[in-house]
Each structure stands twice: as structure tokens, then as C-alpha cells.
Amino acid sequence: MTVILGLDPGLATLGFGAILVPSKGKNKDQASAVDFGMIQTPASDEMGDRLCTIYDDLHTLIDQIKPDLVAVEKLFFYRMGNTILVAQARGVLLLVLAQHKLPIVEYTPAQIKQALTGYGNADKQEVQLCTARELNLSEIPKPDDAADALAVALTARFNIE
């Protein structure tokens, strides 16, 4: 069994989603969700405190989930101010993963959309529906950041087979 942790980097909200992938040859098509959610940092907190929260909570999450592989969504540039904040949170995330000596794969939003829907310009709803279907969930995972993180984990799963 392989545990893949997907991460959707953010400063205010860092989405996470862990999936369990059976070993090749045994129910290969049946990935399942292990856990998903988000790490939140209040905008009212100082930047250093927010980064410490991400650092501490991510260490705890990794200790609990014990992933074999971590998939991270690559940074998408849309507003420079926000991109810099996300980049700082992403740096902390990469540091924590390095401290745990975990293998990392990274995917762009278009690669994630392509892997799940077959179309690199799919909308968020399509990706979320495909994520729920692939994991045999009765509804779309909430919040959106967690659903996005599960999609990142599934992308890694499709690319390691």
C-alpha cells in the first residue's frame, strides 16, 4: 500500500488530502481517501506566526499520515501580492517535506485538470466531480482546498503507475 499526500499551498488556507493506493496488481483501480482538510492561519496573525502554524501543523500531519510520496500543486501566478505570500508558505511546506526526507512531485493546475478530466482547461467543478468519483465518495470533498489537494494526490497516483 502506498499513501500519497496531496498539498494545495496557501498562506490563509493550505489544503491537504491523503489517499491510499493499493499495491500494483491488487485492486489497482481502487484508491481511497484517508484524510483531507486544511491548515488555516488567521489574517490577523503576524506573518511569522502564520508560517510557524503551517510549519508545526504540517509536521503533525505528516507524523499522523506517514505518506510515502507527497504531491504539491505548483505555484500559479495571478496576483503578485498574493503570489509572494503563497510562495512564502510554500517555502515552509517544502522545508518540512525536506526535513522528513519525503519524495516530492509537483504538478501545474493544467496537469492536474488533464489527469483527472482529460482536459487541461477543465473548470473547478469538473475536477472536483472527477475527484469524488475516483475516490468513490458520495459527495464532493469540502472545503475546496481539500478537494484540490485530493486532486493533486490523484494526479500523482496516475503518474506513478
Cα separation of 6 and 151, whole Å? 7
- Residues 88-96: what's their mean pLDDT? 93
Cα separation of 22 and 30, whole Å? 7
How far is CA 108 from its chain centroid?
Answer: 12
Q: Which domain holds residue 156?
A: 2-160
Q: What does the pLDDT look like over 131-148, one tens digit per residue?
A: 999 999 999 989 989 999
- Residues 111-135: what's their mean pLDDT? 89
Write the CATH number for 126. Answer: 3.30.420.10
Q: What does the pLDDT look like over 27-58, one tens digit per residue?
A: 556 889 999 999 999 999 999 999 999 999 99
Enumerate residues 6+ apart whose C-beta is below 8 A from 118: none
Structural domain total, the chain: 1
Enumerate residues 6+ apart whose C-beta is below 8 A from 74: 106, 107, 108, 109
Statement: residue 62 has pLDDT above 90: yes
H helices of 27-138, in order, are: 47-65, 80-99, 109-117, 124-134
Active site residues: 8, 73, 145
Give Dmax (Cα) for the chain: 50
